[in-house]
Structure 1
Amino acid sequence: MKEELSVGSSDVLPATPDTDPTHARSHLPGDGDMWVMVLGDLIIFAGYFVVFMIYRAMNPGEFLQAQQHLAINLGVLNTVILLTSSWFVARAVLATRGGQHAQAVRLIYAGGFLGLLFMIVKGYEWYAKIAAGHTNAETFYSFYYVITGVHLVHVLIGLIVLGALVRELHNPSRRRASMVESGAIYWHMVDLLWVLIFALLYVMR
């Protein structure tokens, strides 16, 4: 009986974070360094938001008047675009955990395409505002260009991260669920930041 137990136990391979299906449920997904970076970025943006709110409280009429010229329909469109993009990336994480790497690559491509579409829409919105004479000479638009501009840089970095994930998934020796999770964490942060920016700049009155 002891021999049978010994033989049975030798056939069981130790689970690793990338092969154990319960890992995602019992551990924080992704890399710890990525979480530190994300929290740092959120703190920096929180500083931008606090300064914006202070200036808004000092000049409520000026900010409200300038805010009327924002195209809220474009803001809503970009919000839907990024939320859908995050959904694709989240599905890519699940596909990677399930060993469906080809499907994960397709989902990441879809998420990246929507991220690029977000940048195009935002670029058009910037062009329209500048053409209409709304430059950083106005206090509200000074904040608008800085906050959305820094966010656009984060979107661009996120697209580079998604490209790195695709490269990793194409290489069988480098496929790691933790890597895809870390990339998804960053992309979801970009999405969360935009939702906050949309609420602050477009919706709040």
Structure 2
Amino acid sequence: MTKILILEDSPPLQSFLKTLLQASGYELSICDKGLDGFALLSEQSYDLVLLDLGLLDMDGQDWLLEFRQWSQLPVLVLSARDGEIEKVTALDNGANDFLTKPFSANELLARIRVLLRTNNQVSFALQCGDIYIDPNKHIVRVGDNEIKLTKKEYAILLLLFQNKDKVLTHNAILSHIWGEQYINRPEYVRVHVAQLRQKLEANPASPKYLLTEPAVGYRLVD
């Protein structure tokens, strides 16, 4: 069943979306805080995110920016902010589509169908040896076993996949995942790579895929 994560802080709209989408055959998770949304995405696989820009704990634009650091899952923004700049900013930040409130049930369902159809037509799955990662659905597998990663672990692994066979310095990883203010703190990366090895490598003490370049950084190899 297609699973949709809804990030929306309005109880009436939550109720409307729940009734409409469940009747259309979708499985839903609903929350009103961005951090709760991140937690759900780290624990479960989804096919689409519906995002309100006015969440209880953070702005949806900031949520989008952070989300796009580690996932390519399609995002449909649902917002009462109807200004052109707001729409353009959301799209630049990684939204796949923008629907202004109020909207009709039929238009919402049509937009959802388009995004799901487009998403299913393109496979973003990547492979390195026995390790598979699907950036669309935020799924990681070793062989047939699905592996649960934290948000930071997943972001590091995806970055390494996107630069397979290339050495990434500690500072390059820190800058991309944590931000410029964390440069020259290689211990952050070392701890998370060690955790990744425990989850992904058959022998973490002698890794096959996640290799260390001494005093430099890390490299992902087949």
TM tier relative to shorter chain: under 0.3
Larger radius of gyration: 1
- Kindly indicate which of the two structures has a greater share of residues assigned to helix: 1
- Kindly indicate which of the two structures has a greater share of residues assigned to strand: 2
The TM-score normalised by the length of structure 2 is: 0.26
